[in-house]
Amino acid sequence: MPFKKYMLTGLMVWLPLAITLWVLLWLVGLLDGLFGSFLAGLAAVTPDSLQPVLARLHSIHGLGVVLVVLFILVTGALVSNVAGRWWIKQWDRLFTNIPIVKSIYVSVKKVSDTLFSSNGNAFRTALLVQYPRAGCWTIAFQTGVPSGEVQGHLGADFVSVYVPTTPNPTSGFFLMLPRSDVIELKMSVDEALTYVISMGSVAPTGARAPATPPNQPIR
């Protein structure tokens, strides 16, 4: 039926844009709300002569986003030199000595350092693994290799992988698999994520790699 066909086609065109705009508007509203709370606290200790300035800043939509981005950029520039790194060490030393805050801060810092470090390997390689059982294949991402006590039990020939769920890749499963059970893919991480989110309906656009036997290990 043409009506149903045209409706579905129109939804496919506008739905990605609508969801993107919704996420961006939600993010702008969140940051504006945080910035508004900061201005409200600042207004309590600000002289009356400066209250109109704060009210004007509070009325500018999206200013919180701009200021947060600028603050992050300035922070990154400051900690890129020797003096900035010294202050970061003092900052880390302070928070790692607070009993309850220590466990949260250290855990989050380790994860962020792993994910965003320029010399790390987390989420830089797309893999093909058998999950949840032998014979079922899915996309995964290498996050590193087991270390410490875990490596002592498993041995050195294992890799740590993250298996995302679909269509929401922010949740998933952490697995440690033998290297021989993992196949490295030539597609980029972005292409692999798109493949997962689309539930396999959007194939990678790159050149098709030669067929790989399922039992060929990652090198």
Look at residue 71 and tell me if it is in a domain.
Answer: no
pTM for this one?
Answer: 0.53
Look at residue 20 and tell me if it is in a domain.
Answer: no
Question: How many structural domains are present in the chain?
Answer: 2
Q: Is 161 helix (H, G, I), strand (E, B) or coil?
A: strand
Distance CA 124, CA 102 (A): 29
pLDDT band, residue 50 (cuts 50/70/90): confident
Domain that holds residue 188: 126-197
Asked if residues 102 and 93 have their Cβ atoms less than 8 Å apart, the reply is: no
Look at residue 149 and tell me if it is in a domain.
Answer: yes
Which is nearest to 128 in space by CA: 112, 141, 117, 139?
139
Question: Are 182 and 154 found together in one domain?
Answer: yes
Asked if residues 206 and 186 have their Cβ atoms less than 8 Å apart, the reply is: yes
Give the mean pLDDT of 160-180: 89
In the structure encoding, which two tokens stand for residue 79, read together? 């900690």
Of 82, 104, 119, which marks where a domain is finished?
119
Q: DSSP letter at 50?
A: G
Distance CA 136, CA 118 (A): 33
- pLDDT of residue 123 exceeding 80, the answer is no
